[in-house]
Amino acid sequence: MTKRTLCGTKKKVIAVSGFRARMQNKKGREIINKRRRKKRKNLSPSLKSK
């Protein structure tokens, strides 16, 4: 069986587009605020603790 074409890691996703990464610059804060206005349940990807 062949490998799937795209296998990202959760750590990489969070480093780029996690909440704290977004809050570090103006455009990222705009994204978070837009998602708040839309009443999104998840503002950004996160590691869910079990």
In Å, the largest CA–CA distance within the chain is: 44
Phi, then psi, of 33 in degrees rounded to 5 = -65, -35
Can you say how many angstroms the Cα of residue 13 is from the centroid of all Cα atoms in its chain?
6
Per-residue pLDDT of the chain (50 residues; tens, 9 = 90+): 788 888 888 889 999 999 999 999 999 999 999 999 999 999 999 887 65
Q: What is the pLDDT of residue 4?
A: 84
Name the pTM for this structure. Answer: 0.76
Burial class (CB in 10 A: 0-12, 13-18, 19+), 21: middle
Spatial contact of 43 and 19, defined as CB atoms under 8 Å apart: yes
Listed by start position, the domains of the chain span: 11-42
Q: What is the pLDDT of residue 50?
A: 59
